[in-house]
Amino acid sequence: MNRSTKSLATYELLYIIGIIAISFSSIFVRWSNADVAVIAMYRLYLTNLIMLPLVFKYRTEMFQLSAKQWRLLTLSGVMLGLHFLLWMASLRLTTVASSTVILTLEPVMVMLGSYWLFHIKANRMMLWGMGIALIGSIVIASGDFSLSRDALIGDVLSFLGAAAVAVHMMIGKELRKDMSAFTYNFWVFALAATSLAVYNLVRGNSFTGYSPQEWGIFLLLAIVPTLFGHYLFNWLLKHMSAAAVSMAVLGEPVIASLLAWALLKEALTAYQMAAGVLILFGVWLFIRHGKE
């Protein structure tokens, strides 16, 4: 096996680790009894704390950003914080399967935003994929509506969370042209956590008094899905195609649903399975033909 083959195998292994890592996020959120805004805030602040030793290495870039970069970083951070707030709230109302599969609409929303902002057009197959994925979302919503009003609200929150992270991703693509992954992630995580801290202050949520178990969950969220998931994918963008990395969104709901079945005893309904197949196929079709 030559060096390039070994490198490819290593990247593929890291990619699989990343998919598994982000799939644990919904499980950890379900295990916590804290307010979702508190969970998200400490998840991001603890991630920054873990990254802190490397700040010295990137200090020149980190503190010489332009006013425009700071404005975009702030907006990206607020959108990321909003994404976590909405998506984690959805997990308290609907199933892991419904919530995570709706999140796979993110690349479709990014494309719609890119068309609106940058006039990037979609081809016919991408439009077919978009339509199939949206039909799947409607199927999930109709199925959850028959279960309870809360489940439908959870689906809507997950959908809005996907829209927020799509805005975050579009801004990130622009900023990453002239900014290292470390600098971008560090400041975006910090700004997202701070926006959530302001929200918690306004809501009167407590910043202290949590059990060691809760702090353990906050730390697990920082290490597993954030560092070994999202940060790892950003790093892999330099070694794998964007199309391949984008496919990670298709793996998360599958693994997360299996984990929810094994650890949370959540059963998959016929509606969820049918809608999940539609959404995953639609998003796969969209991503596949969006890179041609």
Distance between CA atoms of 161 and 103, rounded to whole angstroms?
Answer: 7
In a domain, 3, yes or no: no
**121 DSSP assignment:** P
Distance between CA atoms of 171 and 63, rounded to whole angstroms?
Answer: 19
Q: Encode the chain (292 residues) as per-residue pLDDT tens digits.
A: 555 665 767 877 888 898 899 999 999 999 999 999 999 999 999 999 999 999 999 999 999 999 999 999 999 999 999 999 999 999 999 888 888 888 877 777 777 776 666 566 667 777 787 778 778 777 776 666 556 778 889 989 999 998 998 888 888 878 888 888 899 999 999 999 999 999 999 999 999 999 999 999 999 999 999 999 888 887 776 666 555 666 677 778 878 888 888 898 887 777 767 777 887 787 777 767 765 4
- Written as six digits, the tokens of 139 are 């199927």
Cβ–Cβ under 8 Å, residues 27 and 259: yes
- Structural domain that includes position 163: 21-290
Q: What angle in degrees, to the nearest 10, is found between the helix axes of 124-147 and 270-290?
A: 160
In a domain, 11, yes or no: no
**Sequence letter at residue 123:** N
| Number of domains within the chain | 1
In a domain, 16, yes or no: no
In a domain, 201, yes or no: yes
In a domain, 59, yes or no: yes
**Sequence letter at residue 266:** E
In a domain, 53, yes or no: yes
- Written as six digits, the tokens of 182 are 């470390």
In a domain, 10, yes or no: no
**223 DSSP assignment:** I
Q: Helix, strand, coil proportions of the chain in percent (round to 5)?
A: 80, 0, 20
Nearest to residue 225, comparing CAs of 77, 10, 14, 20?
A: 20
**Sequence letter at residue 43:** R
Nearest to residue 15, comparing CAs of 165, 176, 237, 182?
A: 237
Distance between CA atoms of 1 and 267, rounded to whole angstroms?
Answer: 43
**222 DSSP assignment:** I
pLDDT at 116: 67
* Nearby residues of 168 by Cβ (< 8 Å), 6 or more positions away: 76, 79, 80, 83, 188
pLDDT at 173: 78
pLDDT at 128: 82
Distance between CA atoms of 194 and 41, rounded to whole angstroms?
Answer: 7
pLDDT at 238: 67
In a domain, 8, yes or no: no
- Written as six digits, the tokens of 22 are 């982000």
Instruction: Using a cut of 0.75, tell me whether the model's pTM lies above it.
Output: yes
Total count of residues recorded for the chain: 292
